[in-house]
Structure 1
Amino acid sequence: MPTSRTKRSTAAAVAVLTLVITSACSSSGGGETPPRTTSAPRAGVLAVKIDNVAAARPPTGLEKADIVYVEQVEAGLSRILAVYSSDLPPVIGPVRSARETDLELLRQFDDPTLVYSGAQSALRPSIEAAPLEALPPSKAPDAYFRSGDRAAPHNLYVRPEKIPRASTEVNAAEDIGLRFDAPPPGGTPVDGRTVSYPSARFTFTWAADRDQWLVSMDRTPARTASGDLLGAATVVLQDVDVQDSSLRDRGGNTSPFSATVGTGSAAVLRDGMSYDVAWERNTAMSATRFTTEDGDPMTFANGQVWIVLVPK
């Protein structure tokens, strides 16, 4: 059976062939075809870097993401990288700056677009060299706006409809090989789990009536912009090496880098159970594989997936 990547590659090839034929047919006589004045929308996931301090909450549009990555940043705080493909909300934010960890995470996806507010000057060459479409406000000013209901820098938002990007119509998690199916055998019943960074805390509590893990941030229930509780169908607590990079923020704090290429252990929370799994990502261009103790692919519950990068 063809994979989602194969289907998308085939669709892209057909689109390119159609464009070539159309252009050839539109030329008259032996004259040259007029140059195109507009570019076709990109087809790939939309990744948005989202602020996650108290002043930036509640987030807007986070509940529509296919995958929510949580990572540690300077001073032990956290930021979110939200990946969208199957469902794009009208507004997403607040948008903040990119990190080195984001670049490695996004190499799992084909042709991603990264929405972010900016980056340290030392990181910009790496962003420009990465296999993605970098889209800060300077490159798409019409797509961004600042809200008047909170102070800068926590008030920058993006309108995805203003970004020239075609939906893949494929869940971003499926696109990198995650499987949604019935739970595997085994597992341990659990009411909740907590992950702590030096200056941030996340708790995931099972709510059987909602079939979700309700999210709390810094001991406060997380909510959407409309006031609903924020929850995930599956939560992955992925143990990673967190290393000091050569980058510093304006306050002199070292920027940590979470290494997501390699191997390690993880806990997958779904359906009120916790499963001990192994994760493996051989190269930066590979997708992360999660396998059970029997060596079978771990299956995920239908719905949003949160992947929390947990320092070993």
Structure 2
Amino acid sequence: MIENAAFDGVRPQAGLSAAQVVYEVIVEGGITRLMAVFAGEKADTIGPVRSARDTYLEFASELNCAYAHAGGSYTAMEAIPNFKLRDLDGLREPKWFWRDSSKYSPHNLFTKTDNLYNAIKDGHSWTDAPTYSVWNFVDDDKIMTGEAANEVNILFGGSYDVNYTYSEEFKAYERKNGSVNHTDANTGKTLTARNIIIQKVPAGNFIEGKGRVNFSVTGEGEVNIFRLGKMEKGTWKKADRLARTQFFTTDGKEIPLARGNSWVEIVPEGYSFDWK
């Protein structure tokens, strides 16, 4: 779990460019948070690591992955045992994490992929490999359908608005957050997404006060998928909390994705996005 609050010392975050998938969801007061999924790429610094939230448990469960976080909301911490997640809490197991004294707490907890892999192998002996359904990745020349979409805007609000602009050079979308190039602190380079997956979901339920909100990402709904400067509409489906979210065309075929990384944007009712 990675912080995305527009506070001093948070952005640019470290390690996001090494993630295979990044999920972005509103967590409270219009603030979004990120869940980065690492599957082989190395990152020497990842963070700031932040707390668990309910909606993300659904995505972590479908990947059957180790879930690294720093504590969590009351409802999320209560739910983690029920989800049977491979739980890696940085507040309970600090040996795999460190604090950066140049930054303010709680936005100063970091880890790295080597620590996470060692925690999985040595700290917990989670030796069985995660099992999950793989999305429909294809070579670029197999992606033929979709309307032109060279720019994508997601209006989360103010410093949390997201803009993606397609780059022919990288064959990927370059990301801005709050109208500023969103970079990786490890590399200094702008983050890119080969695939942008926008899932429309119902309005959320407020929990625990403090403006915290939870969204239902089980069931089905509309999806817009952007890759290679093209957009394709369809339906997302997730049968239950353990099932992988999948994406289908209007005639029931699985939507092809470009090989490479993906950003999954959860856009609830009441928020908007556009493309051109």
The reply to whether TM is greater than 0.5 is: yes
What displacement does 1:175 show?
Answer: 4.2
In the other structure, the counterpart of 2:74 is: 121
1:35-78 CA distances to partner (integer Å, 9 max, x unpaired)?
A: xxxxxxxxxxxxxx000023311111111111100001110110
| Partner Cα separation in structure 2 for residue 122 and residue 105 of structure 1 | 16
Deviations 1:246-269 (A, max 9, x none): 322xxxx23111211111111111
Aligned-pair identity (%): 24
Amino acid at match of 1:188: E
1:224 has 2:184 as partner: yes
Q: CA deviation at 1:139?
A: 3.1
Consecutive unaligned residues of structure 1, counting only runs of 5 or more, are: 1-48
Residue type of the partner of 2:115? K
Secondary structure of 2:197 counterpart:
strand
Shift in CA distance, 224/138, structure 1 to aligned 2, threshold 3 Å: closer
Which of 129-138 and 78-87 deviates more?
129-138
* 1:140 correspondence with 2:93: yes
Which residue in the other structure is 1:165 paired with? 120
| TM-score, length of structure 2 as denominator length | 0.86
- 8 A contact 2:62–2:132 mirrored in 1: no
Asked if residue 299 in structure 1 is aligned to residue 252 in structure 2, the reply is no
Mark the CA change 1:270 to 1:151 in structure 2 (over 3 Å): closer, same or farther: same
Normalising by structure 1, we get a TM-score of: 0.77
Q: Secondary structure at the match of 1:106?
A: helix
The answer to whether residue 265 in structure 2 is matched with residue 308 in structure 1 is yes
Q: Please list, as runs of the form range in 1=range in 2, the aligned pairs for 1:1-312 lying within 5 A after superposition.
A: 49-54=1-6, 55=8, 56-110=10-64, 112-163=65-116, 164-166=119-121, 175-182=132-139, 183-199=142-158, 200-225=160-185, 226-248=187-209, 253-312=210-269
Tell me if the contact between 2:132 and 2:244 (Cα under 8 Å) persists in the aligned partners.
no
What is the alpha-carbon distance in structure 2 between the residues aligned to residue 303 and residue 295 of structure 1?
23
Kindly tell me the number of residue pairs found equivalent between the two proteins: 256
In structure 1, what residue type is equivalent to 2:33? R
C-alpha distance in 1 between matches for 2:147 and 2:75: 45
Partner of 1:28: none
- Structure 1 contact 191–206 (Cα < 8 Å) conserved: yes
The one-letter amino acid paired with 1:116 is H
C-alpha separation in 2, matches of 1:86 and 1:161: 10
CA root-mean-square deviation: 2.1
Residues 138 and 75 (structure 1), Cα distance of their counterparts in 2 relative to 1, 3 Å cut? closer
Tell whether the 8 Å contact from 2:52 to 2:77 is kept in structure 1 after alignment. Answer: no
Say if 1:64 and 1:84, in contact at 8 Å, map to a contact too.
yes
